[in-house]
């Protein structure tokens, strides 16, 4: 039975975006610096990574059953034109259902009752597999609500100096994690941590 995870590419100094939305070339370099192809639902988006990172991506694609995303991310990517690259059902946490949604054939659900309700809906859709929650604000709310089971950090060997922290003043700290499963890629170290409940 799957749980709930969040995942991000993070610099060694803790940022998922550099100052002024910079740094993505470095944070996401590992998605394109190898020769092992991993296809997505988008023909124009095929990852080309090291063998190790391809294993990580395959694991993620296989074990994820549904996604929970915030309205900000949903708007930023234009609702992925109704199909997420991972080709999974998406639950959007929002105050108001956006105009023109839901759309026929697009597996997008809109939940206006908050993160817990959204995760509950995603669990139903996930068919026993894992639920991915993004971005940071949604993940933090899940962590605070005791809903987060795993944190997957793609740790990138760069110092960005400033920007958007992955972990921004976590509440109810300290939060104990397990020792990580480590997958060593090229310009990335994949670290999977389980969240230990008090």
Interaction site with a copy of itself (CB under 8 A): 11-14, 18-19, 23, 26, 151, 153, 157-162, 165-167, 169-180, 182, 184-189, 191, 193
Interstrand relation of 4-11 and 130-134 (parallel, antiparallel or unpaired): parallel
Are residues 8 and 136 in contact, defined by beta-carbon separation less than 8 angstroms?
Answer: yes
Among residues 57 and 153, whose Cβ is nearest to a copy of itself? 153
Among residues 124 and 176, whose Cβ is nearest to a copy of itself? 176
The two three-digit tokens of residue 176, written as one number: 């104990």
Report the SS3 class of residue 162.
coil
Among residues 117 and 184, whose Cβ is nearest to a copy of itself? 184
Angle at 74 between CA 169 and CA 97, to 5 degrees: 110
Among residues 123 and 152, whose Cβ is nearest to a copy of itself? 152
Minimum Å distance from CB 57 to a copy of itself? Answer: 18
Q: Calculate the alpha carbon distances from 95 to 112, 114, 135 in Å.
A: 5, 8, 16
Minimum Å distance from CB 68 to a copy of itself? Answer: 20
Report the C-alpha gap between 193 and 136 in whole angstroms: 16
């Amino acid at each position: 039975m799957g749980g709930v995870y969040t995942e991000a590419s993070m610099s060694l100094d803790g940022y998922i975006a550099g100052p002024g939305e910079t740094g993505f070339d470095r944070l996401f370099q590992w998605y394109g610096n190898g020769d092992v192809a991993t296809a997505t639902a988008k023909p124009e988006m095929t990852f080309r990574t090291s063998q190790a990172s391809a294993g990580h991506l395959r694991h993620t694609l296989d074990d994820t059953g549904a996604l929970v995303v915030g309205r900000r991310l949903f708007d930023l990517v234009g609702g992925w034109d109704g199909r997420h690259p991972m080709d999974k059902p998406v639950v959007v946490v929002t105050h108001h259902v956006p105009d023109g949604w839901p759309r026929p054939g697009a597996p997008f659900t809109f939940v206006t009752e908050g993160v817990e309700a959204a995760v509950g809906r995603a669990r139903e859709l996930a068919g026993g597999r894992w639920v991915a929650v993004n971005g940071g604000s949604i993940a933090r709310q899940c962590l605070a609500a005791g809903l987060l089971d795993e944190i997957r950090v793609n740790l990138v060997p760069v110092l960005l100096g400033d920007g958007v922290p992955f972990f921004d003043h976590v509440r109810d700290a300290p939060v104990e994690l397990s020792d990580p499963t480590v997958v060593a890629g090229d310009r990335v170290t994949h670290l999977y941590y389980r969240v230990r409940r008090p």
